[in-house]
């Protein structure tokens, strides 16, 4: 099956309302230091690496960028190179096309691994492998910084079905098959299973899903597909009931379904020897 991320060539920040302030908070949590080796895992076009470089351009960091989609990896190479050129800096940047569940890096290699909105892209079994692989490649005392949606039993099924419907309408077959959004409780289990002993939610913020933002970015301007997505979401919201509608601040106006969910940046640390 073709990797849908080879076709989904969009600027994700424009459809997800991820602000510059959110990236500033992320970099503050990463707390990059001179001489560190940092992996941007499941990097896409590397907005995380670009945020670190943009915020801390003088730090001499060795950057590694891992991405499964060759199209997204090529975007990362171009954008990171252009950013470094624009600020007149030379940094070591290594690129690898590979899955986050089977990384080809040595044990105890990275000071920090950062992964933004990646875990849910993998099926359940590969999620276990991904977190275990990150633990393996981190140095003792190394840190995992992971950005993802915060879900619980009252929201996870709705959220999972919402994106499955959107991806199906957009023709992103590999996303429909592979994506697996999980609860915070399940995520904590993955960390414990991989032997992370220290972990916490470092920063929480609000994510606003807007169906209309997907019209041109993913649904190719097809108003009938947007209508089908909205109809599906309206039916699901009605089924969930008034409590869910209030919790997510649901509104439907001007062909746009708006829902609010929580996202957060988690910080986990591998024990020192």
pLDDT of residue 11: 67
Query: What integer pLDDT is reported at residue 56 of this predicted model?
Result: 95
Q: What's residue 2's pLDDT?
A: 76
Find, among 79, 71, 163, the residue nearest to 117 by Cα: 163
From start to end of the chain, where are the E strands?
37-41, 62-67, 93-97, 110-116, 138-150, 198-210, 251-253, 256-269
Going from the N-terminus, what domains does the chain have, and what CATH number goes with each? 4-152+178-209+260-269 (3.40.50.150)
**Are residues 96 and 110 in contact, defined by beta-carbon separation less than 8 angstroms?**
no
**Burial (CB count <10 Å: 0-12, 13-18, 19+), residue 184:** middle
- Cα–Cα distance, 231 to 80 (Å, whole number): 40
- DSSP letter (8 states) at residue 44: T
Tell me the pLDDT tens digit for each residue of 84-117: 999 999 999 999 999 999 999 999 999 999 999 9
Report whether 39 contacts 135 (CB < 8 A).
Answer: no
What are 15-28's pLDDT values in tens digits?
676 778 889 999 99
The CA-CA-CA angle for residues 56, 62, 68, to 5°, reads: 105
């Amino acid at each position: 099956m073709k990797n849908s991320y080879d076709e989904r060539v969009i600027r994700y920040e424009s459809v997800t309302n991820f602000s510059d302030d959110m990236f500033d908070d992320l970099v503050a949590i990463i707390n990059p230091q001179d001489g560190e080796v940092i992996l941007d895992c499941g990097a896409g076009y590397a907005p995380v690496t670009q945020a670190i470089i943009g915020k801390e351009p003088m730090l001499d960091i060795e950057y590694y960028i891992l991405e499964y989609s060759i199209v997204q990896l090529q975007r990362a190479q171009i954008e990171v190179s252009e950013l470094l050129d624009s600020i007149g800096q030379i940094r070591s940047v290594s690129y690898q096309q590979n899955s986050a569940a089977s990384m080809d890096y040595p044990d105890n290699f990275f000071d920090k691994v950062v992964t933004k909105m990646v875990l849910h892209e993998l099926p359940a079994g590969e999620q276990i492998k991904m977190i275990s692989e990150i633990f393996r490649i981190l140095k003792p005392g190394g840190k995992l910084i992971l950005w993802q949606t915060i879900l619980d039993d009252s929201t996870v099924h709705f959220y999972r079905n919402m994106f499955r419907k959107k991806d199906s309408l957009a023709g992103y077959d590999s996303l429909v098959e592979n994506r697996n959004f999980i609860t915070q409780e399940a995520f904590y289990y993955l960390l414990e299973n991989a032997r992370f002993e220290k972990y916490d939610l470092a920063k929480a913020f609000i994510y606003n899903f807007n169906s209309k933002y997907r019209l041109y970015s993913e649904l190719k301007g097809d108003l009938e597909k947007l209508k089908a997505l909205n109809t599906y979401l309206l039916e699901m919201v009605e089924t969930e009931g008034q409590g869910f509608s209030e919790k997510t601040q649901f509104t439907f106006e001007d062909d746009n379904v708006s829902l609010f969910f929580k996202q957060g940046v988690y910080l986990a640390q591998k024990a020192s020897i």
